[in-house]
Structure formats: C-alpha cells, structure tokens
Structure 1
Amino acid sequence: MSLQSSTGRQEPFRAVLGFTFRHWARRPGPVLGVAGAMMAATAADLFMPLYAGRLVDAVAGEGASALDAALWALGAMLALGAVSVLFRHLGFIGITGMTLRTMSETAQEAFARLQRFSTDWHANNFAGSTVRKITRGMWALDLLTDTVLIALLPSLVVLVGTTALLAWHWPAMGLVVFLGSVIYVGVTIALSLSYVAPAARLANSWDTRVGGALADAISCNPVVKAYGAELREDGRLAGVLAKWALRTRRTWVRGTTSGTAQQIVLLALRAAVIGLVIWLWANGQATPGDVAFVLTSYAVVHGYLRDVGQHVHNLQRSVNDMEELVAMHAHPYGVPDRLGATDMVVPAGEIAFERVTFHYGGHVEPLYRDFSLTIRAGEKVGLVGRSGSGKTTFVKLVQRLYDVSGGRIAIDGRDIADVTQTSLRAQIAIVQQEPVLFHRSLAENIAYAKPGASMARIVQAAKLANAHDFIMRLPKGYATLVGERGVKLSGGERQRVALARAFLADAPILILDEATSSLDSESEALIQEAMERLMQGRTTIVIAHRLSTVRAMDRILVFDRGRVVEEGSHEALLTRENGAYRALFEKQVSELAKGLAA
C-alpha cells in the first residue's frame, strides 16, 4: 500500500510527519524539554561570533581598558561555551529516553495491528518482508526524531538569529545571508522531494523484497534440499539483489548529485558574504573586529547550512523508510470487532448458519448464497466434498476469520459478529491438518491454549493426547525446544502436541481438520484414539479428506460448490444410488485397492 497519491509528492511526508507528531503529542513534556535545551545551546553558539569580534577589536587596541575588554570577551565566550555544552548534554539525555519509548511503542502497536489483520492479508504478505518494514521503520523513527529536534530546529535558530544580528549591523549583509539561505534550503528540499525521494522509495520496495526472498527460501529450506535446488535459489536471490543494487545505486547517485548542487549554492553564498564584508571594510563601514564577527558568523551559518543539506537528506530517507510502517498503521483490520462487542459464553454449543451469503473479495459469484444449516449442541458432524466445495470456508466463518456478506452465524442463538473475536475463539479448539508450533518448549506450546496452566495440567493434557510418552523420551522432556514451526518433531508428534493443546483448551466447540491424513499407521492409531476422547461431550466439526475418519460421525454433510447436497450417517449415505458420498467413497476404496495391489 503506497501513501503517495496523485495529489502530490508531499503526501508521504505529511503522513509520516503526522504519524510522528501524534506520537510526540503523547509525551509533550520530554519533547518540549529536548527542544528547549537544544535551542538554548544553539543560542549560545549564536552569540559566540559577536564576542569573537569584540575580542579582535580589544586586541587591536592598547592600554589597560583594551586588556579588560579582551578578558571580558574571553570570559563571555567561555560562559557561552559552557552553556552550549550543558544544554546539549541535557538535550541528548532527554531525547535518548524519549526516542526509545517511542520506538518501542511504535513497534508494539505495529505488531498488535499485524496480529489482527485478516487471514488474506497474512496469506498475501511475506513474513520476512513484514519484519523488515517494522524494524526499518523503527530505526527510521529514531533518525527522524534526531533530525528534527537535534539538527533542523537548531539550524533554524542559527539561520534566523544570525541573519537578524547581521541585519542589525548591516541590513545589506542580513539580506544577502537571508536570500542565500532561502535559496539553499529551497534547492535542497526540492531536490530531496522531487529527485532523490522517488528513487529512494523504489529502492526501499526492493529492500523489502530482499527480506521476503531470504525468509521465503530459508523457511522452505527442507524443500530446497529435497530437490537439490540450492543453486536455483542462489540464482533467484541474485536476481532480486541485482534489481535492489540497481535501484539503490540510482538513489545514491542522485543523492551525490544533489549534494554537489548544494555545495555550488554554498560556494556562491560564501563569495557574496566575503566580498560584501571586504567592501564594507574598504569603505570604513566595518572594523577588523566586525570583519572577524562576519567571517565567524558566516562560518557558523555555513556549517549549519551544509549540515541542513544532510539533515534534509536524512529527513527524506527516514520518511521513505517509515512509509511502509505508517501504511501498516493506517491499514484497516480485515475483521474488526463491532463497537460495543461483548464476551462470548457458550453454554451448549449449537451452531446455526441463518441464510448466510458469503463471497471472497475479488470473486464475482458468492461461495455461499442464502445458506442455512444447524449443528446441534454436542453433535459430531463430518464435512466432506471435493476441494473448493466450501468445507474449509465453513469452519473459517465459524471462527469469524471472515465476515459474512448477508445473514448471520449464531452460536447458542447469539450472533458471533456481536461478540469479541478473542472470546469467540476461546470457545473453539482447532486441530489443523498441518499443526503450527512455535519455536518454544513443548510445555509452552501445549500451554498456549491456556496461559498460566500448571505443569500438572499440561502433563495431563499430553497424556490424553498420547503425547506424554514420546515427550518423556526426549533429552529435556517438556523443556525441549521444537524448532521453527516444530521442524524437530515428526508429523505424528506435532499432531499429538496440537491435540494436547486442544485438550488443555477444554473448549465446548471442536474443529478437526483431518489430523491423520498423512501419518503412519501407528501414529494414526494413537491420534485417532486421542481424537475420540477429545470429541466426547463437545460440538465437533471434522473436515474429512479420508472418508474412513467420519464413519462414526452423527451426521455427514456432503458439500458441493457452497451447498450441502447430501446429509446423513455413513451407512445411510452409502445406500443412495448415484449419491455423491457413495461415489466419493467408492473412488477412495478403489484407489486404496490399487495401492495395495501395487
């Protein structure tokens, strides 16, 4: 999502700066304290050339009065130097704490939003790219804060103050410095916004792609090894890096060109100031001390102006780096909680689809149209049908991972759209076909369903899931780390950990997405036994890919293109001539027989 619009190039700057200022507004005291300290330090620098000029005039004089004047000027310069050091120290200390709090707050808020984005959003975005956006944005916020409060604000004070002091002595000198500064700043901003920023924005998009490509290949390393595709992945990353290098080189070259143009403007301003002060001295309108004052003042202005170019560059870079993070904050939740949503309580577990219409975004035809179905409390229901028939969508709608387009879904008569999603999903335990585990200990993975659960309850859940024995055979038992997504465990072991998690959740509604479809016979038997225990007393929905797993269901629903075309028990459905369930069953029996014969 890009924040740049056709209305102008400043849109990203407005969005990012507005985002930053809103965060500063949460702690106005530290912000004002830092700004005040830096302005006081800069004001001390501003008056230093004035006393340097007086020191030169004093040295050029004779007698005790000249010595007193020189010592007085020296004392004033030392005092101003001490004030500058003190207030700069206070400013840096203040901005350190303020920036760290703001960075932490921004990252925390971005993570919170990410967790609540829709299933589709997560399916369409690389995890590595998303992490890159957040971390790059955090550090860009640090740079932006330093640039505005520590660099640009003091520069503004120096430019305005020096121009005023020079104009007070010689209006023409003040006018030259003012016009030169305005031209320099204008050229710098124009080049940064119109010339460097577009290239930097494109370079950042390729930087994000580099992160995504790396994460994609690393997370899928088992597949890479399985097909001996290391060289292929090397080549793929090399292609992405080549594009990144090309875009980044253009950005850096444009930055260098912009810097050269700024130096040319500064050179012209230096010539004008020095030429004018020499003319003033030659015409008796300036003393040697005045010349020293002007040259020292210009040296300060020149240094700040030169740095302004770098500061504007840093500002432009930090805005570019924060664009994607700010866009993430502005991105709406896929399925937000309704205003006034309350917690869900499920006393029985009846699930009712009432005239539900639903279609995925971008699809013209709805998957479900005026769909109605009731699953009784405590009933065990199997969902079967070809891929794309609507089985998985059915359970996703029950969890409210998507909102329906029409009608409603109710649990125990209560519309699930009227309750908080957290409380709704706390009433539903789900065991997926490919369970996902965190790279944490086995105990932490099981306890994820019930944070704070005692070790005794975790062990009891593992025993019910037939997972305790294999866990105890591991060197560290329940403290064993399972690896990213549980890669250190076999498929059967991961399934039993997921079942233990569901046992510990002890939710009234249970969803099982064919948990035995790709396991060996021993693991399948253990998991099937655990699943039967888990289903007792719960409203259970089983997505079945192998029809043998739904024989014991109270009711089987046969889906086809978002409709239930048949329903009944296993035995009743097999008696139907030309029935859809019977055709699926006979096909699987035939494939099994061929496999055994082979």
Structure 2
Amino acid sequence: MASSKLAKEGDAYRKVLGFTLRQWRHQPWTLGAMLGAFMLATVLDVLTPLYAGRLVDAVARGGDAALGAAIEAFAVLIALGLGAVIVRQIGFMTIIQFTLRMMADTAQNAFRRVQRFSTDWHANTFAGSTVRKVTRGMWGIDQLNDVLIIFMFPSLVMLVGTTIMLGLIWPMMGVIIAVGSVIYIVLTVWLSVSFVSPAASLANMWDTRMGGALADAISCNAVVKGFGAEDREEERLSHVVGKWRSRTARTWNRGTLNGGIQGAMLIVLRTAIVGFAILLWQQGVAAAGDIALVLTSFFVLQGYLRDIGQHVRNLQRAVNDMEELVDVHLAPVGIEDRPDAKPAMIEEGHIAFENVTFQYGRHANPLYSDFSVTIPAGQRVGLVGHSGSGKTTFVKLIQRLHDVTGGRITIDGTDIRDMTQASLRSQIAIVQQEPILFHRSLAENIAYARPGATRREIMEAARLASAHDFIEALPKGYETLVGERGVKLSGGERQRVAIARAFLADSPILILDEATSSLDSESELLIQKAMERLMVGRTTIVIAHRLSTVRSLDRLLVFDKGRVTEEGTHEQLVGRDGGIYRRLFERQALELTRGMKVA
C-alpha cells in the first residue's frame, strides 16, 4: 500500500515538474537571468561568514595594524550585504513577470482545451470543479516557481558553496556538513512525500468536491427554492465540508509534526558542527576568527536548511494544487481537427450520412449501424420518434460533436472531418429546446451568432423572433443583462432571444430542437410564421416532440432504435396503418382532446 502511494506521488511529481519545465522553456532568457541573479546573491551570502571571521581575527589581534584589516573586512561585509540585496531584488522583479506570464498562458491554454473538450466530458464534469482546478492550479504555479527558483535553488547553492569553502580549510568539517545536510534533506523529502503528501492530495480532492457542490447548489437555486430544499442542501454541503475539514486537519497536523522532526534533526547537525569546531579550537588548529567563521556559516546555512523543510512542504502543496490542472492539459480533447482540415464552405447544405456506424463510449452495441440518409439542399426535414431513438444524436453528428465510428457524413459532398470544427458549426444555426444565454446584454446574446452585426440587424432579428417588443419594454432595453444562463428572463423570452440569434446567423443549415416548446400560443403562431420564412432556401432539420410542429415540413424521418423505420410527409405517415408515427400522432391528439375536456 505504501509503495503504491509512493509510486503515485512519484508520478504526480514527474507529471507536474515535467509540465513546469516545458513552460519554463518558453522563456529561456528570463529564466537564465533569474537563476543567475539568485545564484550571485547566494554566493555573496556564502562569502559573508568568511569576512566575518576575518573581522573577528582582526579585533582579537588588536593594535594599529589590525585596525586597517578590521575596517577592510567590515567594508567588504557591507558591500556583500548591499550587493546581495540589490541582485536579489533584480531576481524578484524578473520572476514577477516570468510567473505572471506563465500563469496567464497556462490559464488561457486550459480554457482553450476545456472549450474544445467533448460534450460528454462537459456533461460528466462539474463546471465549478473545473473552475476550481484551473484557479487553484494557477496559484500553484506561483508557489512552485517561488519554491524552486527563489528558495530551493539558492539553498542548494548555499549548501554546496559552504561545504566547499569550509572543506577547503578543514576537510572533515566539509564532510560533516555535506553528510549531515544530505541526511537532513533526504529525511525531509521522504517525510513530505510519504507522510504529508497523501493527506494533502485527499484534502485537495475534497476541496474540489466542495467547490463543485457549492456551484451545483447555487446554479440550481431556483430548483432548491421551488422544492423548499434549502435545509436539505445545507445538510448535503455540511457533509462535504465535514470531510474537507477532517482531511485538511490531518494534513496540517502531519505538516506540523514534520516540522518538529526537522527541527530536531537541525539540532543534531548543529551539535556535530559546533562540537567539531570546539575540538579544532582546543587542538589549536582554529583561531577565534575561525570559530566565528564556522558559527556564522552554520547559522546562515541553518536558515536555508530550516526553510528547506518548509519549501519541500510548499513544493508538495504546489504539486497537489497543480496536479488537476496538469491533468486538464494532458487530457485528450476527444475530437480534434485533422492537420489538413480546411474552413468549411457550405453553399447549398446537402447532407448525406453514408453507411454510418456510431456507438457511444463503451456501449457494447452501436446506436447506428450501416446507417444512410440523404437530405437534399433546401429540404425541411422533421425527426420524429421516441426518446432515445437517435434523433438528437443525428444532429450532434452533423455538428461533429461526436465522431462516427464508421462511414462518413458529408455536406455538399465534403466529409465534415475535412472541415475545421469551428467553421463547420459557425455555418449551422441551432435553436435548442432549453436555450442557454450568457450573463451579458441582450444585444450581445443575439449578436453571438454574428459578432459584427449592427444594432439595426440585431433589432430586425429580434422583430422576426417576436422578441423586440418585450426587449424594448425593459428598463435598459437591448443593454439589459440577462443573468447567469438567462435566469432573469422567462422561458418564452429566453427562447425568443435564442431564435433571434438563429435569424441573425443566416446560416445555410438550420437545426430546430422543438424551438417553440416554451412559447405561449400567441407567440408560437408568430414564430411559426417567421420560421416558415426562415426555412425557405435553407436545409432545415426539426427535432419534433410535438407533432403539430412538423405537419407542414417537406419530409419526416421516424426513428426507432437508431434506424429510420418510416419516412414521408405528415399525410402519408398518418395514413399508414400500424405505423409508429400514426400511433404517436393519435396519442398526442387523444391527450389534447382530454386536456380540452378537463379545461
């Protein structure tokens, strides 16, 4: 069990440090300048005890001749101190820009990848948890850079420099310092990796879950209020917070104990070094200045070594914080553009499924098997069938939100895999059953389909969607912010804004996922007429749940378990005895009749 934990931690270190080194390579000159500055500042610190010893020697000798040596040693000490401060400050100023650029680039790259992850990835991942991974990882980069460049690198320079300097004077002293320091560092790293780190990883996992639970409950607050479930959600969060608290407490307690052990090891090392210095003095090998040199060197070195324990803990914390962010960077995007993919140039909108096979993830059986359908340019097609029959998958494959397992899908004779995804989707307008709006102004939401649209074009699209009047009635009109996911608008208003967005897109292919389902009868009639105008000359696919919305379409495809079992016009399918479409239509007609009787 312990070995597997160590292996896991080793993998985390390799993954995070490898990622960090790759980011460092983007700024080689800045990195070299930083390391040079901190190395020079540390070398100046290494030399400080040498001149402190000379100062003590001069004072101990006394006399006029010693005064000059004392003043000289004192002046050098001042120069070393000022030089170290100035050079180290240059390093600090450089690392600020270095780290900020690295944090910004990493966050932007993570966002870029998240935007391009598959719809399945987004469906299975909490938005709040993803945000937490990215933001926590960003600050992990800041801490990791500080630990490695500002602290651990100078500590290594100090250890090597002090060992060499004292070893040249008393070889055995150099051996004691080198061996004692190495034992201290190895034990410190081992305690951090095998004792503190596993607890920190678990605490971070619960920290991520807490962020996800908070975001989930807050984003669904309308549902919480609707069912009076505030206490229930608080109890649910209390469980998560309790787990986070206990795991974090264990991490902090282990870190504190680790610090105590490191303090004890430093006392042992100090005893060995000072005891050997006293022995040298007793034997007449070391003078008063030499003792001052040893003591000053040790206390400077002790400060660096004492901090190494904290730096290792901070390094582990930074690795834990960055691990999930690095996983985001390393995760496969899912669907990627081919290297030779070109921008889509859809003119007519002729769609063809050619012997398509498709299955979701690890499902044993494919949803589509040797599936072929052709939709001529400009045809208005309705997709009908029970839930799970393959209607939504059909349009997702056209958008290339999933890749086919076999066969191909073409638009105007070109395989959609030969087109860049962004250009393909930009030429397909879609109105979803549950429209999603940004927490931006109404004008920005409508213009999202065409960012360069003028205000007149935005307003015209809103008029066609019967949205202009209610927008103008708002206090800020088109500049009104709609709230997160459009929560400030009613369902019908959100739907009309989404429809206006589709009008403005003016794409050759139009997908309507029951686009009028949230509208009242009066608005629905207006929208239906507007939709009929919009469909002219465009290839239109309508996912129909209410069959009244597809009666006037050119052609209906009836899906059942991933196959098109019936196709034709509404009149043709209604007249087919025992057909799926006829059963669905009769059932909806019966439900409508019952509803009218009850009313």
Aligned letter for 1:541? Answer: I
Aligned letter for 1:123? Answer: A
Please state how far the C-alpha of 1:567 moved relative to its aligned partner.
0.6
Aligned counterpart, 2:438: 438
Structure 1 pair 492–529 and aligned structure 2 pair: CA distance change class (3 A)? farther
Contact 2:355 2:372 in 1 (8 A): yes
Quick check: 1:219 aligned with 2:219? yes
1:257-314, CA deviations, whole angstroms, 9 ceiling, x for partnerless residues? 2111111111100111111111111111111111111000000111000001111111
SS at match of 1:402: coil
Structure 1 pair 191–102 and aligned structure 2 pair: CA distance change class (3 A)? same
Please state how far the C-alpha of 1:108 moved relative to its aligned partner.
0.2
Aligned counterpart, 1:95: 95
Please state how far the C-alpha of 1:323 moved relative to its aligned partner.
0.4
Aligned letter for 2:291? Answer: V
Superposition TM-score, scaled by structure 2 size? 0.98
Contact 1:499 1:531 in 2 (8 A): no
Rounded Cα–Cα distance in structure 1 between residues aligned with 2:31 and 2:540: 56
Aligned counterpart, 2:66: 66
1:527-558, CA deviations, whole angstroms, 9 ceiling, x for partnerless residues? 32332222121100000000000000000111
SS at match of 1:564: strand
Aligned residues: 595
Aligned letter for 1:154? Answer: P
Show structure 1 runs of 5+ residues with no match: none
- Which of structure 1's runs of 4+ aligned residues deviate more than 6 A? none
Please state how far the C-alpha of 1:62 moved relative to its aligned partner.
2.1
Q: Which sits farther off after the overlay, 125-134 or 532-541?
A: 532-541
Contact 2:499 2:515 in 1 (8 A): no
SS at match of 2:9: coil
Aligned counterpart, 1:517: 517
Please state how far the C-alpha of 1:6 moved relative to its aligned partner.
8.7
Please state how far the C-alpha of 1:126 moved relative to its aligned partner.
0.2
Rounded Cα–Cα distance in structure 2 between residues aligned with 1:430 and 1:408: 22
Quick check: 1:315 aligned with 2:315? yes
Aligned counterpart, 1:176: 176
Aligned counterpart, 1:451: 451
1:126-149, CA deviations, whole angstroms, 9 ceiling, x for partnerless residues? 000000000000000000001111
Aligned counterpart, 1:385: 385
Contact 1:367 1:561 in 2 (8 A): yes
Aligned letter for 1:328? Answer: V
Please state how far the C-alpha of 1:354 moved relative to its aligned partner.
0.5
1:104-124, CA deviations, whole angstroms, 9 ceiling, x for partnerless residues? 000000000000000000000
Aligned counterpart, 1:344: 344
Structure 1 pair 195–6 and aligned structure 2 pair: CA distance change class (3 A)? closer
For the aligned residues, what is the CA RMSD?
A: 1.1
Contact 1:511 1:541 in 2 (8 A): yes
Please state how far the C-alpha of 1:82 moved relative to its aligned partner.
1.0
Rounded Cα–Cα distance in structure 2 between residues aligned with 1:46 and 1:228: 67
Rounded Cα–Cα distance in structure 2 between residues aligned with 1:529 and 1:59: 102
Rounded Cα–Cα distance in structure 2 between residues aligned with 1:119 and 1:423: 18
1:125-182, CA deviations, whole angstroms, 9 ceiling, x for partnerless residues? 0000000000000000000001111001110111000011111111111111111100
Rounded Cα–Cα distance in structure 1 between residues aligned with 2:161 and 2:408: 67
Aligned counterpart, 2:154: 154
Aligned counterpart, 1:421: 421
Aligned counterpart, 1:206: 206
Please state how far the C-alpha of 1:5 moved relative to its aligned partner.
8.9
SS at match of 1:448: helix
Aligned counterpart, 1:501: 501
Rounded Cα–Cα distance in structure 2 between residues aligned with 1:522 and 1:310: 69
Aligned counterpart, 1:479: 479
1:370-419, CA deviations, whole angstroms, 9 ceiling, x for partnerless residues? 00000110000000110000000000000000000000001111110111
Aligned counterpart, 2:105: 105
Please state how far the C-alpha of 1:592 moved relative to its aligned partner.
1.1
Aligned counterpart, 1:594: 594
Contact 1:467 1:496 in 2 (8 A): yes
Rounded Cα–Cα distance in structure 2 between residues aligned with 1:582 and 1:358: 28
Superposition TM-score, scaled by structure 1 size? 0.98
Contact 1:509 1:540 in 2 (8 A): yes
Rounded Cα–Cα distance in structure 2 between residues aligned with 1:345 and 1:443: 27
Please state how far the C-alpha of 1:19 moved relative to its aligned partner.
0.7
Rounded Cα–Cα distance in structure 1 between residues aligned with 2:269 and 2:495: 73
Q: Which sits farther off after the overlay, 243-252 or 298-307?
A: 243-252
Aligned counterpart, 1:258: 258
Contact 2:6 2:193 in 1 (8 A): no
Aligned letter for 1:351? Answer: I
Contact 1:433 1:515 in 2 (8 A): yes
Aligned counterpart, 1:30: 30
Aligned letter for 1:216? Answer: D
Aligned counterpart, 1:56: 56
Please state how far the C-alpha of 1:202 moved relative to its aligned partner.
1.2
Show structure 2 runs of 5+ residues with no match: none
Aligned counterpart, 1:197: 197
Structure 1 pair 7–304 and aligned structure 2 pair: CA distance change class (3 A)? closer
Aligned letter for 2:475? Answer: P
1:47-101, CA deviations, whole angstroms, 9 ceiling, x for partnerless residues? 1111111111111112211110110000000000111011011000000011101
Quick check: 1:141 aligned with 2:141? yes
Contact 1:510 1:540 in 2 (8 A): yes
Rounded Cα–Cα distance in structure 2 between residues aligned with 1:219 and 1:525: 33
Contact 1:499 1:530 in 2 (8 A): no
SS at match of 1:9: helix
Contact 2:5 2:194 in 1 (8 A): no
Identity of aligned residues (%): 64
